[in-house]
Structure formats: structure tokens, C-alpha cells
Amino acid sequence: MAEVHNWQLGRGMSYPYEAAYPKRQFAFVFNINRCIACQTCTMACKSTWTFSKGQEHMWWANVETKPYGGYPQSWDIKTLRLLEEADPDGQQWRGDADGRSAPYGQFGGKSIFEAQLPEKAAESQRVLGYLPTDEEWNSPNIWEDNAVGPKGKRDALHPTGVELPTHDTWFFYLARICNHCSYPACLAACPRKAIYKRPEDGVVLIDQKQCRGYRKCVEACPYKKSMYRGNVRVSEKCIACYPRLEGKDPERPGEPMETRCMAACIGQLRMQGLVEIEADGTWKEDRYNPLYYLVHVAKVALPLYPQFGTQPNGYYIPPRWAPRPYLRQMFGPGVDDAIERYIHPDRELLGVLQLFRRDNRIIYRYALEDGEEIYRTTYRGKQHVVYDDTVIALGRDGKELFRTTVEEPFHVRSDRHANSI
Ligand code: SF4
Ligand code: SF4
């Protein structure tokens, strides 16, 4: 085992391999507050990559209803339980935030790499995990739209309705893809060394020729995003639409584009980019990269189950209406501040939130231009002044990709097109 620095845990961590960081890392932010579970992202992925025979159960991109839904069923509860059993009462956060190397304080418990028992490691199970049953893989939409009702009951409505700051009857949609983790559990567990992380963009791939279908990656990935395909006897996973990242999509030759699931998002909640990485694995300061801003400056976007220890590169703006203890378990101790900032966005955050889904190309930087005051109100005890600022998205070479305003542009279709689609 090597010692690596896991900045999401705010401490060093044991990992089976020496650290090797990419120059840039594939990363994304999903704003849960906006997801409507239309599953357009899911189908965009499926119709692009996993439509062949034997891939019927392969949902590299999926959207599940929390807290009851999950694909495979109960994937997160089962891993949390394994960690709890391995380190009873240890799974706690402590200490204060400390810059980019410990923004959420320190995680005192064990990660999936540290909780594994030495005797299991000898049995070639290097990472704490489990293999889902066939039944758990069967129903991608299990318990969709089932809410938590009175006394924690499933699918019963609270008679008093809903009121913020948290709803009595609640659920939310969690959109998921592979997190292209900095310390991938799938890679750590593979006895064939068939899984690798690309140095240019941190995308994690399975070499189909090397894979022998032992399913160690399926067992180890705490997010269950490596999937076994029985008819060809190898594992497959999200490839981050790497031809698009490389600028090979004929739609925009030579320009790095976001993945298909991002580009298709109806709710306009997905943003994906490539962040620069320091020699120690932390994010290089890049103040006007929108992902850097959302994760490290505004701190509204948080990693999914950082306590697992893989340092996932997917970040979520938590849903403001869900109970905080549930969200803290899922996104760590930054939840309360993230929701507070999202509810009361400052001028810059409001501008950056307009960048989501205005274009399919990867945004490397943004710039803001001041606009007129357009609205003034008091909300939850705080005064809000909204300005119609312009936010400008810049591409890899610093050229402008597009510009948009805080007040959404309003288009009226001509009579000729009024009822056409
Ligand atoms: S989410 Fe799972 S499959 Fe994806 S890189 Fe991380 S450990 Fe591997
Ligand atoms: S396309 Fe967007 S809004 Fe629709 S389910 Fe996917 S993430 Fe949610």
C-alpha cells in the first residue's frame, strides 16, 4: 500500500498504487435542485454507447430517486453498512476546513481502501466492496418518485404539505455516471491491470482486451459504475465520451465537447469540464474556471460520498428541501453552507449558474460584465438585489464560446413556427 493525499478527506490515505495524477482531470457539477428525472441523459448515453445485445442492464448514466431508489438497488446503503461494520462509530468528520487540501475538514473514519481486512487482501479482495445480485441489477427505475412520508414511511404524504427549509414529505433525483475517480477502486482491484487512468484527462477506462471478466472492479467500485456484460464476459463502464473530449465529434471538429449525457440535459443542470491538477493531486488554482469556482470558491458543489475515499470527480449542488442529516451523510459536512450560499447567491454565483447548458463545448474560463439592477427583494430574512450581468464563456484557446445574461433571453417564435416542433 502507498500513502497518497486525499484532499476530499483532508488527510493522507492508503491506496494500493503510488499516486499518479493527470495534467487535467475530467470533472462535472450536477445541480440536483433542477433535475426532473426526464431520463434524457440516461437515454442519450444508452443510444450512443450501450445499445448492443448484452448491454440491456448497462446504465452507465442513470437517474435514481433518493432515498429509496438506486441502481443497482441499495448500492450506497450496502457500502455504507460495510464501512460501518469495519469501523464502528469511526465514520465521522472532524476539524475545520483548511484551503484546497482539506476543504471539508478531516474524515476520521476508514475509506474502502483502509477498511479492508488484511486476510481479505491476501484473498485478492484489495478493496472493501460487494457484488450486487442479479436481482439488484434488474430494475433501473426501482422506487422512482417514491417519497419519504410521515414517520419515515415510503410513499405516504404528510398532511401538512411542504414548507422550506426542509420538506416533511421529500425525495430527490440523483443523476449518476462514473466519477472518473482520482483513486479509482475499480483500477485498484483489477488483478489483470486492465483498468487505467488517462494522463491527459484522468478518464478511467477498461482495456477490453486485457479484461477477463473477474468482476473485481464491479465488486470494488463503491458507486457500482463498472458493469459486467455476460455475453462477452468482460466488464464495461462509462468512457466519458472521450472522443468528444478530444475534439473528434464531427459536430465541432477540433473543439473539446462535453459528454452526451451533459449535452442532452433538459433540466440544464449539468456542466462538465477539465480542471488543472497540481503535482500533489489538488486542484490548481484557476479562479475563473467555472468548476473550480463552484467547488473551491463558492463551495456550492460537493463530492458524492467523499468518505468512500476514491476522490470522485463528480460534484453536486445539494437539494435544498431534503433533510440535512441525510445530505451530510451523502455529501459531507459542507452541505449546510452550500445550501445557504445557493439560496442566497451573490452576484458572481448567479452569473456562473447561467453558464449551464448554453453550449455543448467545454468551458475553460468565464468572465463577467456588470449589468443594470433588475430586481430587488427580501427572501428568508436577507435582501437580494439581482443585476442583469453578462457572463462570457471562454474555450480552450481563450476564444469566446458564447455570452449570456442573468435575465434569460426571451424568444418569440414567428407565427409560421408557433405550433411546430
Ligand atoms: S466511479 Fe467506480 S468505475 Fe468509476 S472510476 Fe470510480 S471506482 Fe472506477
Ligand atoms: S437530462 Fe438532466 S433533467 Fe433530465 S434526468 Fe438527466 S440530469 Fe435530470
Distance 40 CA to ligand 2 centre (A): 6
101 lies in some domain: yes
* Res 155 pLDDT > 80: no
Ligand 1 contact, 206 CB (< 6 A): no
Average pLDDT of the residues in 115-119? 72
- Identify the burial level of 11 via C-beta atoms within 10 angstroms of its C-beta, where 0-12 means exposed, 13-18 middle and 19 or more buried: middle
Q: Interhelix angle for 335-343 vs 324-331, to 10°? A: 110
Does residue 416 fall inside a structural domain?
no
CA-44 nearest atom, ligand 2: 1
Integer-rounded Cα Rg, in Å, for the chain is 21
Tell me the pTM.
Answer: 0.96
CB 306 within 8 A of CB 107: yes
Residue reference for cell 438497488: 73
Nearest-atom number in ligand 2 for the CA of 36 is 3
- Asked, for residue 89, whether it belongs to a domain, the answer is yes
Q: pLDDT, tens digit, for every residue of 329-378?
A: 999 999 999 999 999 999 999 999 999 999 999 999 999 999 999 999 99
pLDDT tens profile 173-227: 999 999 999 999 999 999 999 999 999 999 999 999 999 999 999 999 999 999 9
The answer to whether residue 380 is domain-embedded is: no
Sequence-distant (≥ 6) Cβ neighbours of residue 327 within 8 angstroms: 318, 319, 335, 339
Domain containing residue 96: 2-144+159-343
pLDDT in tens, 350-359: 999 999 999 9
The ligand minimizing its distance to the Cα of 197 is 1
Taking CA atoms only, the protein residue closest to ligand 1 atom 5 is: 180
Report the residue among 39, 46, 360 best suited for mutation to probe ligand 2: largest number of ligand atoms under 8 A from its CB: 39
What average pLDDT score do residues 133-146 get?
96
pLDDT tens for 9-23 read 999 999 999 999 999
The answer to which of 148-162, 166-180, 300-314, 396-410 has the lowest mean pLDDT is 148-162
In a domain, 10, yes or no: yes
| CATH number of the domain bearing residue 318 | 3.30.70.20
Q: Is residue 362 part of a domain?
A: no
Number of domains the chain contains: 1
